[in-house]
Structures are given as C-alpha cells and as structure tokens.
Amino acid sequence: MLLYLYRVSIVSFIVLCMFGRLAIGSEKNEYTNPTVGFKITKPNTWNYLSTETITANRENIRLKDEELRAAIRERATAPLVAMTKHKEPYDDLNPTISIVFRPVGALQGKPATEIMSTVVRTMQNALHDFKFIREIHETEISGLKASHMRATYRISNKEGRDFSVVSRMWMVPRGAFIFLIGMSGPETGQDVSEAEFDQVLQSIKIDK
C-alpha cells in the first residue's frame, strides 16, 4: 500500500505540473523552507501560485487509468512550492515548475535511478503516448545523488482539450525522504522555456 500511495503521489505531481495551478509561494523570488532544508529561486517574471485551485485541477485531469485518477483526488500530496511562467488563467500549456517533498516509504535506501524506474512504469500506464526523450540516468542536485529523465506525453482535460507535454523530472533521495522536481511545458513555441528551467534548477539548494 505504501508503494502504491507513493506512485499516486508521483503521477499526481506530474499531472499537476502540467496544468500549473496549485502551489504555495510568496511575493519574494526566493522560496526557502528551513523545516525541510530547501531553497529555490524563481525567475523575476514568473509567478508563485496558491493552493486554492488544487481540487479543481485534480477534477479537471483525464488519465488512462481512472482508478489512479480517483486515488489522486483523494490522497495526493500537495507540493512545497510551484511556479508558472504566466499568471493563471492562461489559455494554453503554462510552463510550470513544482517541488514535492515526501517520505520514500518502501523504496528507502534504493538508488535514485531505481526509484525513478519503479515509478515510471506507473506513469507509462497513466499517461497517453509516453515516450522518453532522455532515459533515466544518474545525476547530482545540490551535491546529492539524484536521477533525471525527460519524456513527452499527452494529457487532456474534461473540456476535451489535448496537450502535448515535455516533462523533465528529477528525484533526489535524502534519508527517509525524497524531493521530486518537475518542470513541464510545451514541445515547441515561445513557451519552451529551457533557459528559465535551467536557471531555476541551478538555484536549488538542499541541506544535507
């Protein structure tokens, strides 16, 4: 059950990144959470988001696995912080960055690449047309061992709009907990936002 709930949290995190309407922030560009030992800086023109639209956003998603979708509505973990390039409402795919912090559970002690491999199988079942752009590999975030992958997939909302998404995900285990870093946006056009994503990634500081 713990592993199942962990997978629920992962897929919820990916889905919420794509729609970008659900996180906690402040008026400052730098978000700091001393309780969990995490710091991140958003681009000056980007926006932190409130938690007010979490429920509405979860109701709006459409996945291949409706049982998993129901579990997301009931049990998903809210992010520490999320930010979007454009203020909501935005009538297109809004480039979004979201950070989740939660217990590793049954996967504690496993390498970051193995943790990601385990949960990617759930993503492949839940998301339409999931394809790797860059497969799972080892990397480092703020001096900690991490894993990273990049993928494309499609997701739709209850209005029937279909979005083609490029998502970049990092997993950073630290003891009994893990940081999930997601950055998502469109495949083409002015909102691809690679420079902004890299800027934010380089700003992340995690206490050891």
Number of compact structural domains in the chain: 1
The mean predicted confidence, pLDDT, of the chain is 79
Domain that holds residue 91: 2-206
pLDDT band at 76, cuts 50/70/90? low
pLDDT score of 13 more than 90: no
Quick one: pLDDT band at residue 36, thresholds 50, 70, 90?
very high
Q: What is the mean pLDDT of residues 162-167?
A: 87
CATH number at residue 44: 3.40.1000.10
Distance in angstroms (rounded) separating the CA atoms of residues 185 and 37: 27
Q: What is the mean pLDDT of residues 1-14?
A: 42
The pLDDT of residue 191 is 94
3-state helix, strand, coil in the chain (%, to 5): 30, 35, 35
Q: What is the pLDDT of residues 55-73, one digit of tens each?
A: 455 555 555 555 455 544 5
Q: What is the largest CA-CA distance in the chain?
A: 44
pLDDT at residue 177 tops 70: yes
Give alpha helix (H) positions in the chain.
Answer: 2-19, 54-60, 66-75, 112-126, 194-203
